[in-house]
Chain A
Amino acid sequence: MFYKTELSSRLFLGTAQYPSPAILAEAIRASGTEVITVSLRREGPGGGVFRDLIAATGCRVLPNTAGCHSAREAITTAHMAREVFGTNWIKLEVIGHADTLQPDPFALLEAARVLCAEGFEVFPYTTEDLILGEKLIEAGCRVLMPWGAPIGSGQGLRNIEGLRSMRAHFPDIPLVIDAGIGAPSQAAQAMEMGFDAVLLNTAVAKALDPVGMARAFRQAVEAGLAAHRAGLMPRRDMAAASTPIFGMAALA
């Protein structure tokens, strides 16, 4: 449940960098996604036609504050998003570093407190830091979106142990891996680890065939979720024979 919304698809898709709105719409269909995220900061009020095309896909829109570098910018953008899209959902992104696009944890928390108090349902783009996660929940967030790797890097889950701890630490909070996913196998891995969803953009938008890649991610996310539900076998340090070995000659 993401703020009391049940979603059957666990793949959230970004809408930037596609060759055209037509291909974007086709990729959205192929991905089976129900949630798409849209930026506002750079496009401003003038991006209305593109936003109408996005709305026509029928997906739930999760507006984002991409491109914001301060709490104030992010809050203003969130207000505009609520007005433009008529939703309380906001993917809160406050960038701390222009090159790695790493979140600024301090400004993120500050903005999250304000927006939660104003009734927004905040999806914060955060790191795997547990204390930051706790404080975001304390601020009112009911979903956390830890990064897999820097935005657009395609490096996958860079800190698997940190993400594993995070999953264990917040068993009842929906966790979405946001950013850094480059390959379907990485999305499947996140789902196998018990994350509730993955959000990605570049891996699909900049594929040579975005629609084909959207389909591949759909299958990977479905496979990862099914595997998690089915219960993965534990990793063992020794080989374990699946047939009895009792009675074999000891040659050593």
Chain B
Amino acid sequence: MMFSVLGAGVAGLCAATALAERGARVEVIDPSPDPTGASWYAGGMLAPYCEAEAAPDEVFTMGRDAVRWWAERVPGVLKNGTLVVAPARDAVELDRFARATRGHAWVDPGTIEPDLQGRFARGLFYAEEAHLDPRAAARALRDRLIALGAELHFGTGATPRGQIIDCRGLTSRDHLTELRAVRGEMLLVETPEITLSRPVRLLHPRFPCYIVPRGENRFMIGATMVESDDDRPVTARAAMELLSAAYTLHPAFAEAAIVEMGAGLRPSLPDNVPRVLHRGGRCHINGLYRHGFLTAPALAEELAQTLFQEHRHAS
């Protein structure tokens, strides 16, 4: 049995991995020679507890085992938790966040992130959470797939030879009409002046943001959420909001070099819950919204299990 996974974003790579690990013949086809799409701009936070602030329980359940899944397969999964803080004026946001989530403890932020010493009176620490560099993780998963015997075809010209597993993100709107885009904008900055060991979320009533340390003095600042499928570059407003949030977290970010600005479109279903869908004779993993690296492993395992059960019954 041969599977043709369409799309080499996080959904496609995880699906191919789950199938290849069960011994299936797998090919991954992506028309783009370079990585693009929502996965490329992801934050890489494995934060089921924090995400549950706005996401339903299903997302938490899917994300619970993500840390283990990634850590068993790729290097660089850092299990340092998440820190959530708010400027003094917005301290009530922190109370609300605490009420809306589980798995946290109140901390003095300076005790776990020394560079934030004295900047915030209190914070929430989510010890069970982790983060990874999504670009490095995707690379590692691609290499691992090749080692597992999968074929990877990038660029146009490849015709699928097996059962189609559609992981094309927004491009799948031709099959999944309910998909919509939620635009997200991010910045990558570099400064040797600040050290953070874990993602820090800064709560704000209008533009909450997060800063994820990427190593080598780099930090990803994200991300906006705009109900739009406009894929133009980062807007000035978004850049100002994200930078002012970073500056609020630590003024030394003012002197950081901006090394990248990116805007991506998150494929999203009406309830913003990622899903495995079986429709029109093909299987889809789609609607990963802002939960790609968090939920793709669980969706991939669900898909692989279903397909293998079907094959057992059929044979």
Contact = CB atoms under 8 A, between A and B. Distances in A.
B265 to A, nearest CB: 9
Contact of A208 (B100, B180, B271): B100
Contacts of A47: 226-230
Contacts of B100: 208
Contacts of B230: 43-47
Contact residue range for chain A? 20 to 34
A31 B180 CA distance: 25
A152 B204 CA distance: 11
A53 interface: yes
B89 to A, nearest CB: 10
Interface in A44-78: 44-50, 53
Contact of B271 (A20, A43, A49, A206): A20
A22 B228 contact: no
A46 B205 contact: no
B95 to A, nearest CB: 12
Given A19-B55, A46-B183, A152-B206, A53 B270 contact: yes
A21 interface: yes
Interface string A10-49: 0000000001111101000000000000000011111111
B267 to A, nearest CB: 11
Contacts of B55: 19
Nearest to B182: A50
Contact of B228 (A19, A46, A53): A46
Given A19-B54, A19-B272, A22-B271, A43 B228 contact: yes
A49 B181 contact: yes
A152 B56 CA distance: 23
Contacts of A208: 99-100
A19 B56 contact: yes
Interface string B167-206: 0000000000000110100000000000000000000011
Interface in B217-242: 226-230, 237
Contacts of B229: 46-49
B226 A49 contact: no
A37 to B, nearest CB: 14
B207 to A, nearest CB: 11
A21 B99 CA distance: 23
Contact of B205 (A23, A50, A152): A152
A208 B100 CA distance: 6
Nearest to A19: B54
Contacts of A23: 271
Contact of A43 (B54, B226, B272, B273): B226
Contacts of A48: 229
A73 to B, nearest CB: 12
Contacts of A42: 226, 228, 237
A171 to B, nearest CB: 36
Contacts of A21: 180, 270-272
Contacts of B99: 208
Contacts of B272: 19-22
A247 to B, nearest CB: 55
B193 to A, nearest CB: 28
Contacts of B273: 20
Nearest to B55: A19
Interface of B: 54-56, 96, 99-100, 180-181, 183, 205-206, 226-230, 237, 268, 270-273
Top 8 closest pairs, chain A to chain B, by CB: A46-B230, A22-B271, A46-B228, A20-B272, A49-B180, A50-B227, A19-B54, A43-B228
Given A25-B270, A43-B226, A53-B180, 11 more contacts: A19-B272, A20-B268, A21-B180, A42-B226, A42-B228, A46-B181, A46-B230, A49-B227, A53-B270, A206-B96, A208-B99
16 contacts: A19-B54, A19-B55, A19-B56, A20-B268, A20-B271, A20-B272, A21-B272, A22-B271, A43-B226, A43-B227, A46-B183, A46-B228, A47-B226, A47-B227, A152-B205, A206-B96
